[in-house]
Chain A
Amino acid sequence: MTYTFSSQDVHMVAKLANIPIDETQAVSLAEGFTKTMIVLDQLQRIDTKDIHEDYHAVDLENVTREDIVDESRMFTQEQALSNALRTHNGYIVVDQVIDYQDE
């Protein structure tokens, strides 16, 4: 069974993805996504019972760095803030956020 997107589904995904969309867009996106899902659902035909998924094409493991401060790559405060829209006394500024996230 192919997943059929409703505009409500699209709104939910848009909210998760933090992408602002309106109802007209949601309706047209739902249609497009449903079409795409027909292609994606072809995968369900393939038997992958004994396949262990791997997330890397090339076999690398245990790539770590030593615990050393790398000054050469650190930004000055000026560099760090150089592209920020709003700053104040070395801080980056946003409109006050009210809800509390996990720390």
Chain B
Amino acid sequence: MSYTPIIGLEIHVELKTQSKMFCGCKNDPFHAPKPNIYTCPVCLGMPGGLPVPNKKAIEWTIMLGLALNCKINMVSKFDRKHYFYPDLSKGYQISQYDQPLCLGGVLSLPEGDVRIHRVHLEEDTGKLQHTTIDGKEVTLIDFNRSGVPLIEIVTEPDIRSGEHAKSFLKKLHQIIRYLDISDADMEKGSMRLEPNISVKQSEDEGLPPYKIEVKNINSFNFVKKAIEYEVARHISIFESGATPKQETRGWNEDAGQTFSQRSKEHAEDYRYFPDPDIPPLHFTEQYIESLRENLPELPDEKARRFKEAYQLSDQLIDMLIASRQIAQYFEDAVKEGRNHNLAPTTIANWIINKKVDIHAVSATDLLHQIVQATTVIHVSDDEMQQAIHDVILDHEKAVQDYKAGKKPALMFLFGQVMKKLHGKGDKKIIYDRLERSLS
């Protein structure tokens, strides 16, 4: 029997707009000094509060869709999704049902392409905190987060391994950061990950008849581990002759295991219908094109250009384009580096190998450092020979050790020579000379 993991991802990303999705409240739930201070009739679900959509959030969602090679729905709308929960102030969440802003994209990865099913825009809920007050178990509600714009990205089940999922998520994260539309911080919950996992048996036709959703995972690594754990678990269930039960599970990092979550008591019937408070959206080609033109250079494009323009290794390029800021820093340095005859490779290596803090060291300072470090100050042969000679005499013990086969002693002696020469001279030549003098 052979097994194929079938994995899809659902990702939620909070947008970092100034104001909330459907009202003018401040969108900054993580830095709010107090609970329930960024609320208004709309996001607190007061009687008579009416939603008015945030234009920028719509634009950003479309831009993400374009970056993920999606088709943009020229006619879109917002729908109400109903369920009761204390963090949901209106008894419904404004979301998008059958006309999401973006449909059908794809993200290319070395492990295999992952198709994007849809990208839509909705609102976040308030935040719950479980605690005990006066011996009573209670839940505290803070509506500062209620109504924060939230993008939902749903992939097709094209992912085949934990590593594949991680690679997809890293790339998605990178694109989101390039677009500068979200902090996409998993610790804070501004990016939330939910893999759907099943395993297909070789004789299965189509998709497996079940799906496990793992919720509340807050790192790419945990997604990878949860997937690996689940795939192994499903296979062992199949091996025992059973089929995994469809359910929602959570991830326990300490145990390195997923665990079954209490299944929801309520029937899942969200009673979607178009929100009568929000007129439909109708886009023109011209509008979409103007957004496309405003897209920054995205990672793939940048990588291609870097390879062509700077002849760097793939590995180096990957690290340089990790963020727009590093890439920009590198390019600024390269431009200035021309005056110092510094090759892009030298600059790239320096930035990556020395783990340069791009916020602390300006590109100009960086170039100075590189120039200083790579310029060889000439030393005469006599001076070099004298230094080697002196060191051998002064460190008899180390010389004996080396001759007895203790290799590290050579490095010690080399260090002593360099000290005497105050860092001058070509290190390679000095090393060779020292080695020869000892043989």
Are A and B close enough to touch in the complex, i.e. CB under 8 Å? Answer: yes
Interface residues in chain A, defined as those with a beta carbon under 8 Å from any beta carbon in chain B: 12, 15-16, 18, 55-56, 60-71, 73-77, 80-81, 88-103
Q: Confirm or deny: B278 has a beta carbon within 8 angstroms of a beta carbon on chain A.
A: yes
Closest CB in chain A relative to B60 CB, distance in Å: 9
Bound CA–CA A39/B418 (angstroms): 99
Q: Are A80 and B34 in contact (CB under 8 A)?
A: no
Q: Confirm or deny: B129 has a beta carbon within 8 angstroms of a beta carbon on chain A.
A: yes
| Residue in chain B with minimal CB distance to A100 | B261
Additional pairs, 5, CB under 8 Å, beyond known A90-B142, A101-B85: A70-B25, A73-B41, A74-B24, A100-B262, A103-B215
Residues of chain B in range 254-276 having any CB-CB distance to chain A below 8 Å? 261-262, 264-267, 269, 271, 273-274, 276
| Residue in chain A with minimal CB distance to B38 | A74
Q: Which residues of B contact A12 (CB under 8 A)?
A: 267
- Chain B interface main SS type: loop
Q: Are A99 and B19 in contact (CB under 8 A)?
A: no
Q: Confirm or deny: B54 has a beta carbon within 8 angstroms of a beta carbon on chain A.
A: yes
Q: Are B139 and A93 in contact (CB under 8 A)?
A: yes
Q: Which residues of B contact A103 (CB under 8 A)?
A: 12, 124-125, 192, 215-216
| Residue in chain A with minimal CB distance to B213 | A102
Q: Which residues of B contact A75 (CB under 8 A)?
A: 39-40, 44
Bound CA–CA A66/B279 (angstroms): 16
Q: Which residues of B contact A92 (CB under 8 A)?
A: 36, 140-143
Interface residues in chain B, defined as those with a beta carbon under 8 Å from any beta carbon in chain A: 12, 17-19, 23-26, 34-41, 44, 52-58, 77, 83-88, 91, 124-125, 128-130, 133, 137-143, 192, 215-216, 248, 261-262, 264-267, 269, 271, 273-274, 276, 278-282
Q: Which residues of B contact A67 (CB under 8 A)?
A: 17-19, 54-57
Closest CB in chain B relative to A9 CB, distance in Å: 13
| Residue in chain A with minimal CB distance to B77 | A55
Q: Are B138 and A100 in contact (CB under 8 A)?
A: no
Q: Are B276 and A16 in contact (CB under 8 A)?
A: no
Closest CB in chain A relative to B38 CB, distance in Å: 7
Q: Which residues of B contact A55 (CB under 8 A)?
A: 77, 273-274, 276, 280
Bound CA–CA A69/B56 (angstroms): 13
Q: Are B24 and A65 in contact (CB under 8 A)?
A: yes
Q: Which of A70, A80, A90, A94 contacts B23, CB < 8 Å?
A: A70
Q: Are A65 and B53 in contact (CB under 8 A)?
A: yes
Closest CB in chain B relative to A27 CB, distance in Å: 22
Bound CA–CA A70/B52 (angstroms): 12
Q: Which residues of B contact A81 (CB under 8 A)?
A: 36
Q: Which residues of A contact B125 (CB under 8 A)?
A: 103
Q: Which of B36, B77, B248, B269 contacts A80, CB < 8 Å?
A: B36
In the complex where A70-B23, A70-B25 touch, is A94 in contact with B269 (Cβ < 8 A)? no
Q: Are A97 and B128 in contact (CB under 8 A)?
A: yes
Bound CA–CA A21/B216 (angstroms): 35
Q: Which residues of B contact A102 (CB under 8 A)?
A: 83
Q: Which residues of A contact B137 (CB under 8 A)?
A: 95-96
CB<8 Å pairs between A and B, sample of 25: A15-B266, A16-B269, A56-B279, A60-B279, A62-B282, A63-B279, A65-B19, A65-B54, A67-B17, A67-B54, A69-B18, A74-B25, A74-B39, A77-B37, A80-B36, A88-B138, A90-B36, A92-B142, A95-B137, A96-B139, A97-B128, A100-B261, A100-B262, A101-B88, A103-B192
